[in-house]
Structure formats: structure tokens, C-alpha cells
Amino acid sequence: MREKEIEILERLLSHIGQNYDKLPDKPLTGFLAMIGHRYEGELMVVGRAVNGWENSWRPRELAENRTIRKVSRDILSNSINETKCPMLWVSEKWGSGQGGNSEKRYNSKKSAFWRVIRHVVDRLNLADVDDVNWPSILTWTNLYKIAPNDKGGNPSPRLIGLQLEYCQELLDLEFSQQKPRRILFLTGYDYWAKRFPDNRVEQLREVSPGVYAAIKKYTSGDTGKIVVASHPQCKKESTWVEEVIKAFGT
């Protein structure tokens, strides 16, 4: 089902391997879209890039084809699970930083990104957010599939340049395959979402300061509503959520 994604990802990894000397010799990580087992097309959320993830390797390791194939399969395996919904990690780690060694545990409740998504799901009546299964109705992806893994953070301008073309192709494929009726970018527009043009999207219009909306048309004839909002970090979350809900209704 995801062979095309792997093919694009391997071209991306190969390009990084061919240009490994242009990047610091530091660990990178990779990500492909994570599709909830209860996803029925209601909402896809899009971030900038993962802030640390499960797999790790250095750019120079991608100079070998056998490593590229292994890395691509590892990346996919960390995004899928046939028996358990892969998106459940969000609710399972909600408040997980309690007790001993809590500083080493990721707590999704402390993430502004996941807190506002939970509120949006609740406000749109897509799931009972008090139920542990609420993240299963989502598809989650990111603009950039390769990111730093030693200290996390967003990709550098140089790493963005090496992967942008392939990530544009992957995001377009994810839209076409999943056909979400709502797409929420938690990225900001300038510098981030602005780099991902789509000729099947109406002109984005600013519906409130920093919040943009448009309609996306799929080749099947279906349509989806796109809302591009700022990253919620350090924002007043109740206002952020209200503006997003209003944008989906326009």
C-alpha cells in the first residue's frame, strides 16, 4: 500500500547520501505519515518535522544503497502497526512524565502541538478526547521527513534544501491517498507551508491574523478544507483553537 512513499523516500535518502559532505556529521532521523486505525478522512494534521524520533543514522551512512533500503524500511516500520494503532502513543504518553526518571520520558501533554490538536478534535466533535483512542481518528504527517536527532529541532536550511523537492512530492501523495476532508497545518505560513505549493488548492486567504484557509480539490473530485495556522508554541491556546475552528467553518 505504501510502495510509492518508499520509492520517493529512497530517492530522498540517496540524495542526502550523495551530498553527505554538505551536512554536519550528526545523527538524523526519518518519518513517514502515521495513519490512525480509526481514520476515516476527517482530519490530517501537519507539523514541521519530528523533534527526535525512533531511528537514527548519519548522513554519510546513506552513501550505500543497502543502507538506504534498510533505513527506509525502518522509517516505515516506526509509522505503522498492524495490530495496534500507531497513533495511540499520543494518549499513552499523555501525562507520562510522572515518577522516577520523568525527565527522560516524553510527555505529550506538555506539548502545545498535541494539546491544541486534542482541543480541535473535541471542538469538531470528531472523537471523545477522554477516550484513550481519540488520536486514532487522525493522520499525522510533517512537511519535512528528515530532521536532526541528536538534540532535535527543525531541519537546517541546508537540510531543507536537500529534501524539499522530495517532501513536496510526498505530501502531495499523502493528500491524494488519504483524501482528508480537513487538513490542519500547525506550521505557520511564511517559510514553512508557503514552500509547499499545490496547483489543486485555491488561493489561501487570511481569515484572521496568521490563519489562512483554502479548499483543496482531489483528482477523484472530492474536496478538503485546508487551514494553515502558526505553530502553537508560546501562543494563547484557547485563542489559537478558536481561530482554527472558525477558519474551518468559513
pLDDT at 96: 74
Residue 105, pLDDT score: 73
> How many separate helices (H) and strands (E) can be counted in the chain?
6, 9
Q: Work out how many domains the chain is built from and give that number.
A: 1
Collect all residues with Cβ–Cβ distance below 8 Å to 242 and sequence separation of at least 6: none
- Contact by Cβ (8 Å): 145, 53: no
User: Where do the H-state alpha helices sit in 135-250?
Assistant: 157-178, 237-249
Would you state the pLDDT for residue 97?
59
* pLDDT value, residue 229: 98
- Contact 216/223 with Cβ under 8 angstroms? yes
Whether 69 is in a domain gets the answer yes
In a domain, 102, yes or no: no
Residue-level pLDDT at 99: 45
Residue 168 placed within a domain: yes
The neighbouring-strand residues paired with 205 are: 213
Q: Is residue 59 part of a domain?
A: yes
| CA 113 from centroid of its chain's CA atoms | 11
- Secondary structure of 79-95 as H, E, C letters: CCCCCCCHHHHHHHCCC
C-alpha cell at 177: 491517498
- 166 occurs within a structural domain: yes
Which are the contacts of 189, defined by CB distance < 8 A and separation ≥ 6? Answer: 204, 210, 212, 228
3 state SS of 39: coil
3-state SS assignment for residue 236:
coil
- If one counts every other C-beta atom within 10 angstroms of the C-beta of residue 199, the result is 6
Position 150 scores a pLDDT of 82
**Contact status, residue 214 vs residue 204, Cβ threshold 8 Å:** yes
> At 243, phi and psi to the nearest 5?
-65, -40
Q: Residue 101: inside a domain, yes or no?
A: no
Let me know: does 186 contact 49? Beta carbons within 8 Å.
no
Residue 100 lies in a domain: no
Tens-digit pLDDT profile for the chain (250 aa)?
Answer: 799 999 999 999 999 999 999 999 999 999 999 999 999 999 999 999 998 898 899 999 999 999 999 999 999 999 999 899 999 999 999 997 554 444 457 899 999 999 999 999 999 999 999 999 999 999 999 999 999 998 778 999 999 999 999 999 999 999 999 999 999 999 999 999 999 988 889 999 999 999 999 999 998 899 999 999 999 999 999 999 999 999 999 7
CATH number, domain of 48, equals: 3.40.470
Using alpha carbons, list the distances in angstroms from residue 13 to 103, 131, 142, 188.
32, 38, 16, 26
- Domain that residue 197 falls in: 3-95+107-249
Q: Is residue 204 part of a domain?
A: yes
Q: What is the DSSP letter of 20?
A: G
pLDDT at 151 (0 to 100): 78
